[in-house]
Structure 1
Amino acid sequence: MSQPVGIEYNQKNMPFRRLGPSGLRVPLFSLGGWLTFGGTVHGDPVKDIVKTAIENGINMFDEAEEYSKGNSERELGRVLKELGIRRADYVITTKIFWGTRPGPNNGGLSRKHIIEGLKESLERLQTDYVDVVFAHRADHNVPMEEIVRAFSWVIDQGLAYYWATSEWTAREIEEAFLIAEKHGLHKPIAEQCQHHLLHRERPEAEYAPLYKKHHYGTTVFSALASGILTGKYNDGIPENSRFNTNKENFKQRVEFLNSDEGKKQIAIVKELAKLAETELNCKVSHLALAWVAKNPNTSTVILGATSPEQVLDNLKALDVIPTLTPEVLEKIEKIVNNKPSGLPTYGRPLLDRFGRM
């Protein structure tokens, strides 16, 4: 029997893009549960955040088996059920690798853990399938053919519709493609990577051949550099910030901010804030999110939120995207001064991802 519909999804002005080469359409901004759902946010506040997302164009939710030791998936699954949203109206992704408990086979990317770990995730999410299952990291202790075959199997069984990678190297992704092509297996469709104005080398340079050859897409996390690009850390560590409430997770980041290189990054954020406020009439966080979203290889930008108000504020970045003209983008490049250098062309004109001038 079908579930009674509680609230309807409202696309509003949310743009959609294909997830990599697949036919799956995902919102330009999605919502993730890392550190928040089941961690710093429990119960009705989770429902309020998800409801706000659904009513404002976000219908993709990103999870992982290890987020809050499985409690993040539980919170999301419970809330989606209680809100009564049609399963066809939203996209769920989850990630497999670290597991939720110790044990020799309760983590990694063995065929055993990929299958059993995903089944446990489905139980916590209270759904029969996820739209995309990610390999949360590469596993160098498991043959790549076993990994590709296992993800292909869960797709054939209907436990997931697609599979993807997260924080894999371009070489590892290319190896997975070669094995899938050789054996007629399902290929990965996207990479979940860190990409922001202060971290560009891997998503823009290392993955460039993947975009061109495989039309690989990215589901970007940490587009605000864990909050650094909001400007909240310009004058120290606020008490209610995630750097303070999740000290173990961000210990190295806090130490970095106190280094000379970290102070240089803060100076860059201050310059970006000045540009955002004086020329674009927005906050630096809106500029940073819009900048990542404008990249044609970005399929979706994953937002984190501890309140409905934070969801709505982040979505103001949609209005900033059209203002990022070539002139504004050039000003941003001069401030950050970290654009990765491409491969040498030896004087020959560049082509786009489709081989066009």
Structure 2
Amino acid sequence: MSIAMVAGESSGDLLASRLLSGLRPRLPDARLHGIGGPHMAEHGFVSDWPMDKLTVRGLFEVVPRYRELKGIQNTLRDQLLAERPSVFIGIDYPGFNLGLEQQLRDAGIPTMHFIGPQIWAWRGGRIKKIARAVSHMLVIFPFEEEIYRKAGIPVTYVGHPLAEIIPMEPDQAGARAALGLQQDRRVVAILPGSRMSELKYNTASFLGAARLLRRREPQLQFVAPMAGDKQRAYFEQLIVETGSADLGIHVISGQSHAAMEAADAVLVASGTASLEVALYKKPMVIAYKMMRASYAIMRHMNYQPWVGLPNILAREFVVPELLQDAATPQALADALWKQLDDPAHCRNLRQRFTDMHHSLLRDTANASAQAVCALLDRQRARLAPGG
């Protein structure tokens, strides 16, 4: 049996690894391959291309790499059409995966999509393409089930894998010890993003905010986890270019969860990382910058006032969001200082985020693996003589 998968970024790699942890014991001899990262590799997954080949975000940012990305998609499609895997599972990354899924499904190969595109936030018309491309959806937020059922798309709510991975009670002291941070000095974690484009647009403002915070509290410690060696080298280059070397930022490879757990507050780029911070029950400021033309288009396509996942799930601004021109160093520093310096607010956030954690907690590994196996059983029955 062959199962093909594509994850296009580090968050997808982590999420897919939860599915594989439930699937591998059920299908120990299955060949698992496609495009993925190190967490998926721990379960015997073989990546046919480096995952960072796909890592790009934004509308216009894709343009310079369109030919390369389309070439990878076409080559993989041709390989899978020849191989005919038992199922193809796209992990998030809808711009790449939905087109591939539709071509495979048209050829009779069952397709699943794990993590629904945020059609409830923007581009709601995409659900028609999903209906054509996807045999079965696996969704991670409880309110998504009804959306797909109404559209006639088979769907299973499997909970959010991160709610299982992240402890309900963070161990701040243990995380600080593991990272070599001082216990008696407050910590701010800086997470400008895992993509190179995110580092390009977010880092200068994030570092500027760190400098302003250090002036208010000279003993403040900063830790910045980077998704890979390439990202770390670029971030360290930006530290030098912005004259921020004197801040003594503790740059680490990976270990983003340890950095969140160690922190008193977090400055984080919008995306999955903001939900991870919420699950660690930490005050935060969500910020994001991108190419100006991309932002101008995307801001008019949003259906709701929030972009950060913690605020979307809470249906209110429980933490600040500062986007594009609003994400100045001064504004970020002021907002983060309020997050750091208001004990009552921190206690309230901790309770809100604990409730959120419980709402997302399911046995995701087994629920998602069960859905995959049920789809495989239906496909076998359909192909059997008389099926």
TM-score for the superposition, normalised by structure 1: 0.36
TM-score for the superposition, normalised by structure 2: 0.34
Q: Which has the larger radius of gyration?
A: 2
